[in-house]
Amino acid sequence: MIKKSKLSVEVNEPIMWGYVVTAVVALLVGGAAGFYIGVMYLRRQMEKMQSNPEMLQQMAKQMGYNLNKQQMAKMQQMMKKQKFRP
Q: Is the Cβ–Cβ distance between 41 and 34 less than 8 Å?
A: no
The 3-class SS string of 33-55 reads: HHHHHHHHHHHHHHHHHHHCHHH
Given a contact cutoff of 8 angstroms between Cβ atoms, the answer to whether 50 and 85 are in contact is no
In this predicted structure, what is the pLDDT of residue 38?
96
Helix (H, G, I), strand (E, B) or coil at 10: coil
Mean pLDDT by 10 residues, the chain (86 residues): 56 73 96 97 82 81 86 82 66
Distance CA 54, CA 77 (A): 15
At residue 84, the pLDDT reads 62
Q: What is the pLDDT of residue 29?
A: 98
Radius of gyration of the chain (CA): 28
Write down the domain spans for the chain: 13-81
